[in-house]
Amino acid sequence: MPTISEANLKDFLRNIKDKPLEPNDSFYVSYFQENNDPIQRLYNHITRDDDVQSVALLSGFRGNGKSTELRRLRVLLEQRGYAVLLCDIEPFFNEYEPVAVTDFLISVALALNEAMKTKYGKDFTKESYLERFYQFLQKEIQVDGLGVGESVLVSFVKESAFKKRLQHALSTRIEPFVKEMNDFFNNIRTFLVSRKHEQTVLLLDSFEKIRGIGENANQIHESVDYLFRRYIGDKLRLPGWHVVYTVPPYVTSVSDSELSICTFLPNIHIFNKDGSHDDQGIGIMKEVIKRRFDWPQVFTEAQMKRMILATAGSFRVFFRLIRIILLRIPADKNLLIQVPITDVLLEHAKNDLLREMSFLLPTEDKLWLRKIADSKTPEVSRESDKLTLMKFMDKDWVFFYHNGEAWYDIHSLLKENLK
């Protein structure tokens, strides 16, 4: 019987780690159709709609490639001659606390400053904004004992008590605060223009990760919804910048004549709405793994298809299922592994994945999930239902698709379990 070595298995596991890819990475697979490419729409929005500034939103579920696709957008814009800063905002906000426009903009400034340090070796926060912001706090708010240093701003957006205190104080000083912020962003833009870049673009990644726990979740949802509904055409438009914010899925309903575009990254279409298989989507998932490892060494064609159908088109779930399988495969005393795997092993791994998703699944949630599976709609009848739907999506219970039309469905493994 054929075998592979333990070293081969380690290579396979190493290569399926879920991480952002550059578009020239050998692992990268383009999976959008030419007439339905969200990144191309963002590119057109930035390069065609306004020569000076713009705002756009990008959303999607966990693990469906937002960070990777933002890198593709960066490359496309840089080829056009734009100066593009791709920033990870996650280290500079508290994902479990409600957000106000003031602390959100400070998080944006800190993320941009970090990106500038990485790309140009220059800390703009230390040289201009931090001192000015400290002076602003002393003059406008009269907050004592803050100290000086970048850690002050990080504390503001990360530490709950400090954050609430300054949120309250800044709530009556928003206009002068925003002026200081815009001066900072203009300072960065002036530096970039001096390097022969007429257009500047800011891509803010990771804010879609904001979420709460229990009752706190509702407060966070309302704060984020208010942030973008109230300020998307005003405070969140940075003068002289094209900005793309990544946001949670529920924010894409924001409507503003100045916004122009809300873009959503759907999951890979491995099913059609009628339940039949989408061979093109299945082929893309196979290619995603093929780029990482010669999978026919380990799985049969039929096994690979069964695995793909058990992932609902999510890269994150796909990699998770393969990892479960690879860690279960037994090796002999010579560290050799018999392949292909057995069907029994595959079924055990699928059951493990199902248990992870549905452990103590409440009866009320089961009823809602059945409705979604039957109607192919989110079954949201009131505003508070959005939070529950977001929970379903975070847990990989519900997915959004857009092949021909927009529709929803529940995870295929859950569907079998709810019959």
Strand, coil or helix: what is 15? helix
Other Cβ atoms closer than 10 A to 215: 7
pLDDT at 36: 77
* Rounded percentage of the chain residues whose pLDDT exceeds 70: 90
Q: Does the structure show a pLDDT above 90 at 138?
A: no
The more confidently predicted of residues 413 and 151 is 413
- Strand positions, DSSP E, 176-276: 200-205, 241-247, 261-265
pLDDT at 250: 75
Q: Does the structure show a pLDDT above 60 at 143?
A: no
Residues 6 or more apart in contact with residue 68 via CB below 8 angstroms: 20, 21, 23, 28
Closest CA to 65 of 264, 356, 261: 264
pLDDT at 240: 93
If you average pLDDT over every residue of the chain, what do you get? 86
pLDDT at 361: 84
State the Cα angle at 279 between 413 and 311, rounded to 5°.
Answer: 25
Other Cβ atoms closer than 10 A to 396: 24
Cα distances (Å, whole numbers) of residue 312 to 149, 278, 334, 407: 46, 11, 37, 13
Q: Summarize pLDDT for 302-323 with one digit per residue, the tens.
A: 999 999 999 888 888 899 999 9
Say which residue the tokens 């999930």 belong to. Answer: 369
Q: Does the structure show a pLDDT above 70 at 19?
A: yes
In the predicted model, what is the mean pLDDT of residues 199-214?
87
Q: Does the structure show a pLDDT above 70 at 338?
A: yes
* Stated pTM of the model: 0.90
pLDDT tier for residue 123 given thresholds of 50, 70 and 90: confident
pLDDT at 286: 96
Fold of 38-265: Rossmann fold (3.40.50)
Burial level of 331, CB count in 10 A (0-12/13-18/19+)? Answer: middle
pLDDT at 205: 94
pLDDT tier for residue 371 given thresholds of 50, 70 and 90: very high
pLDDT tier for residue 105 given thresholds of 50, 70 and 90: very high
Q: Summarize pLDDT for 30-50 with one digit per residue, the tens.
A: 887 667 788 999 999 999 876
Backbone torsions φ then ψ of 370, nearest 5 degrees? -60, -40
Highest mean pLDDT among 71-85, 193-207, 346-360, 386-400: 71-85
The more confidently predicted of residues 259 and 307 is 307
Q: How far apart are CA 398 and CA 392, in angstroms?
A: 6
Residues 6 or more apart in contact with residue 57 via CB below 8 angstroms: 228, 232, 244, 245, 246, 247, 251, 252, 254, 259, 261, 262, 263
In the predicted model, what is the mean pLDDT of residues 123-150?
65
pLDDT at 104: 93
Q: How far apart are CA 275 and CA 196, in angstroms?
A: 52
Q: Per-residue b/e over 357-393, b at no fewer than 16 CB within 10 Å? A: bbeeeeeebeebbbebbeebebbeeeeeebbbbbebb
Burial level of 6, CB count in 10 A (0-12/13-18/19+)? Answer: middle
Residues 6 or more apart in contact with residue 324 via CB below 8 angstroms: 349, 352, 353
pLDDT at 156: 74
Closest CA to 109 of 238, 261, 197: 238
Least reliable range by pLDDT among 65-74, 344-353, 354-363: 354-363
Domain ranges within the chain, ordered by starting residue: 3-17+269-417, 38-265
- Here the tokens at position 281 are 């989507």
pLDDT at 147: 56
Closest CA to 61 of 227, 240, 207, 265: 265
pLDDT at 258: 57
pLDDT at 392: 87
